[in-house]
């Protein structure tokens, strides 16, 4: 007899096809299923649980809030939980980085924050065009999907995906000066590209295959946008909240985007929450122009506040990420070096990729790793990249054990394919 998932759940389901288990419990970097089997988690909810599963500090804060009958749903009403989150975000994140942003609470998904950014950029500038980049991923609702590059997602839109132009991302092709190409398109009045309202960029393209923009490219992009009066939107939904080593992924470049989309781990506990950070003079919304029933998730405010207080009130987590990143780099380079010519390593902070020359190889290694007790997903245009995203709080022994499982899976799969 087919399981209830096969009988009742839509065919749209995806992750469960790659990781066939019925998961029941989770703690830190470990997931367990209903049969008691365990896996190390190098997927982290696609970046939604950067601090691991059920971190005790956040769990305790949520339990206290629930036991006190704290407001859970509140639209965009003022609440004590929202007030405390905003105060903590200002104190722990914005003020130390000398950043000044208004905070818009959008609908709870990352794609909704991107939609809001596009709408606001168009409202501010009076222009319609958005520039995005090759291999970009910004979500799957129609406005955000228009800026998502992969044909796999675009082909099922069922409607127009207009007003977005794609140009080469940093390093898209060897020897290609993508920034010069962008500047030429924007400054040539006969290029065919209208002056855009905004440029949207991920400083690290996670779903696109762990493609990392250089600091020089990011600085040049920010300067170009500023010179031409184009808004710069950074989509920090997956690469933000510490994944690259600093809270924002763009900090390494020393830039201050006009708009920043945050989601995934901003909710701290894997709870749905999304923000759009807005340069104050750009906050020209009229009340209710971008709204939604679930933009006031007070449980997420509570968990997010506890996460900021626990991990971002000082530099200790950043130091830990740097240590784990060095260890992870060593493990993955060793794998890539053993199989030189068949896979390449790239990464920053605790988001890394092993890019396989043969696209199907990554999927086979992922399946073998799952059988060995590790959950790791594939990314890239053809799912050719093994994307390595352990919790930021993972201990060294778990990191080493997970990398050993990955190495064994890669070695065995490549030996069979030789």
Closest CA to 86 of 101, 67, 66, 65: 101
Residue 294 has pLDDT above 70, yes or no: yes
Residue 58: CA count within 13 A, CB half-sphere: 27
pLDDT, residue 286, reads 97
Torsion of CA 203, 204, 205, 211, to 10 degrees: 120
Query: CATH 3.90.1150.10 residue ranges in the chain?
Result: 4-55+315-417
pLDDT tens per residue across span 123-141? 999 999 999 999 999 999 9
Closest CA to 313 of 96, 99, 55: 96
pLDDT, residue 417, reads 73
Closest CA to 268 of 53, 18, 88, 66: 53
Name the phi and psi angles at 338, rounded to 5: -65, -25
Q: How large a percentage of the chain has pLDDT more than 90?
A: 96
The C-alpha atoms of residue 171 and residue 134 are separated, in whole angstroms, by 10
Residue 151 has pLDDT above 70, yes or no: yes
Average pLDDT of every residue of the chain = 96
Could you tell me the fold of the domain covering 59-311? 3.40.640
Mean pLDDT to the nearest integer, 154-176:
92
- pLDDT band for 4, please (50, 70, 90 cuts): very high
Radius of gyration of the chain (CA): 21
- pLDDT band for 1, please (50, 70, 90 cuts): low
Pick the CATH number of 4-55+315-417 from 3.40.630.30, 3.90.1150.10, 3.40.50.300, 3.30.465.10: 3.90.1150.10
Buried residues in 210-224 as b, exposed as e (16+ CB within 10 A) = bbbbeeebbebbbeb
Torsion of CA 286, 288, 291, 296, to 10 degrees: 110
Mean pLDDT to the nearest integer, 239-268:
98
pLDDT, residue 304, reads 98
- pLDDT band for 104, please (50, 70, 90 cuts): very high
The C-alpha atoms of residue 209 and residue 144 are separated, in whole angstroms, by 19
pLDDT, residue 205, reads 98
What residue has token string 């690259």? 244
Confidence (pTM): 0.97
Query: CATH 3.40.640.10 residue ranges in the chain?
Result: 59-311
- pLDDT band for 416, please (50, 70, 90 cuts): confident
Mean pLDDT to the nearest integer, 327-331:
98
pLDDT, residue 407, reads 98
Alpha-carbon distances of 141 from 1, 5, 308, rounded to whole Å:
35, 25, 29
Alpha-carbon distances of 46 from 320, 378, 379, rounded to whole Å:
21, 11, 11
């Amino acid at each position: 007899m087919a399981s209830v998932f096969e009988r009742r759940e839509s065919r749209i389901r995806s992750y469960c096809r790659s990781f066939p288990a019925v998961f029941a419990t989770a703690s830190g970097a470990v997931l367990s299923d209903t049969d008691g089997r365990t896996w190390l988690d190098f997927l982290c909810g696609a970046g939604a649980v950067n601090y691991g599963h059920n971190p005790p500090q956040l769990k305790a804060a949520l339990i206290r809030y629930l036991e006190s009958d704290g407001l859970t749903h509140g639209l965009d009403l003022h609440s004590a939980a929202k007030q405390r989150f905003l105060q903590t975000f200002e104190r722990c994140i914005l003020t130390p980085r000398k950043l000044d942003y208004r905070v818009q609470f959008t609908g709870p998904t990352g794609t909704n924050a991107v939609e809001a950014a596009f709408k606001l950029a168009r409202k501010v500038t009076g222009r319609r065009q958005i520039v995005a980049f090759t291999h970009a991923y910004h979500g799957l609702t129609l406005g955000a999907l228009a800026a998502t590059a992969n044909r796999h997602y675009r082909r099922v839109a069922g409607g127009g995906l207009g007003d977005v132009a794609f140009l080469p991302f940093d390093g898209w092709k060897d020897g290609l000066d993508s920034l010069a190409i962008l500047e030429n398109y924007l400054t040539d009045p006969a290029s065919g590209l209208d002056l855009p309202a905004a440029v949207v960029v991920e400083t690290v393209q996670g779903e696109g295959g762990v493609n990392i923009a250089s600091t020089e490219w990011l600085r040049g992009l920010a300067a170009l946008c500023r010179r031409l009066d184009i808004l710069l939107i950074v989509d920090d939904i997956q690469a933000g909240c510490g994944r690259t080593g600093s809270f924002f992924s763009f900090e390494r470049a020393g830039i201050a985007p006009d708009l920043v989309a945050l989601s995934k781990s901003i909710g701290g506990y894997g709870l749905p929450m999304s923000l759009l950070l807005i340069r104050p003079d750009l906050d020209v919304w009229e009340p209710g122009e971008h709204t939604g029933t679930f933009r006031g998730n007070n449980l997420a405010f509570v968990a997010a506040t506890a996460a900021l207080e626990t991990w971002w009130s000082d530099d200790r987590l950043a130091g830990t990420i740097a240590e784990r990143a060095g260890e992870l780099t060593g493990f993955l380079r060793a794998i890539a070096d053993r199989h030189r010519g068949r896979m390449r390593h790239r990464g920053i902070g605790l988001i890394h990729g092993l890019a396989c020359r043969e696209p199907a190889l990554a999927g086979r290694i992922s399946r073998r790793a799952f059988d060995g007790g590790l959950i790791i997903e594939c990314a890239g245009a053809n799912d050719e990249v093994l994307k390595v995203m352990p919790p930021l709080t993972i201990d060294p022994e778990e990191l080493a054990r997970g990398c050993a499982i990955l190495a064994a899976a890669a070695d065995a799969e490549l030996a069979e394919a030789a």
